[in-house]
Amino acid sequence: MIVSLGLLLFFILLTGVLLRAPLLLTFDQTLTHLIRQPVTPERTWFFRNITRLGNVKFTLVVMIIFSLGLWWRQKLQGALFFAINVGVLALVVNTLIKHLVARPRPLILHLVAAGGFSFPSGHAMNVTLMYGSLIILCNLYVDRFALRAVFNALLTLLIITICLSRVYLGVHFPSDVVAGASLALAELLISRYLFFGPRSVSAIRLN
């Protein structure tokens, strides 16, 4: 159900971008104003730093470290799951879609440097797939409920904050971010099923 909704939302936004729908323009302008105002030195400092946790270089470093760590712990399925989600479904798929759609970035002041096209947000896809994969792996491999709850809450908050940062910093439309996160969530849940199947979480946790 969530997969279908994620894909549906992505294709609705994609259609709106391709057709330059007035309703999508209103959506983007309204949310951009709500998220971006007020622009202050403190908010700019915070969002400039938090957005770095979704940069491509940082994402690749995290992918390598966690994939090797899982491989060393003989969690080969988890290592492959993480590497494919981050390296292929996030980075490669996003690049392909961006060049096919070729949507220019917003014509407002950019508070960080950003090149290339805008739709869908690479940061939104990167963090949803990377930190979302870590949430799934934590639920699969960590026994302690309290530790899982804290870890999941922090990573979820990080995903939301990084996505908001792209709009505040002026380098993405809100529809870019929502589309990227929606597509990435669908990819994440599909890969979760393909790698681990319908088995219960408790069946494959560490003892």
Residue 197 is predicted with a pLDDT of 82
Closest C-alpha among 10, 13, 207, 194 to residue 88? 194
Give the pTM.
Answer: 0.90
Please report the pLDDT score of residue 199 as a whole number: 59
- Record the tokens describing residue 23, joined without a space: 């309703």
Indicate if the pLDDT at residue 201 is higher than 50.
no
Shortest CA distance to 180 belongs to which of 25, 21, 22, 17?
Answer: 17
CA distance 52 to 183: 21
- Mean local confidence (pLDDT), 169-187: 96
CB of 130 within 8 A of CB of 59? yes
For residue 52, count other CB atoms closer than 10 A to its CB.
Answer: 14
Give, in order, the Cα–Cα distances in Å from 150 to each of 116, 138, 153, 155, 200. Answer: 36, 11, 5, 9, 21
Specify the DSSP class assigned to residue 65: H
57-67 confidence digits (pLDDT tens): 999 999 999 99
Mean pLDDT (the chain) is: 91
Q: How far apart, in whole angstroms, are the C-alpha atoms of residue 188 and residue 206?
A: 22
Domains in the chain: boundaries? 2-204
C-alpha–C-alpha distance, residues 59 and 133, integer Å: 12
Q: How confident is the model at residue 27 (pLDDT cuts 50, 70, 90)?
A: very high
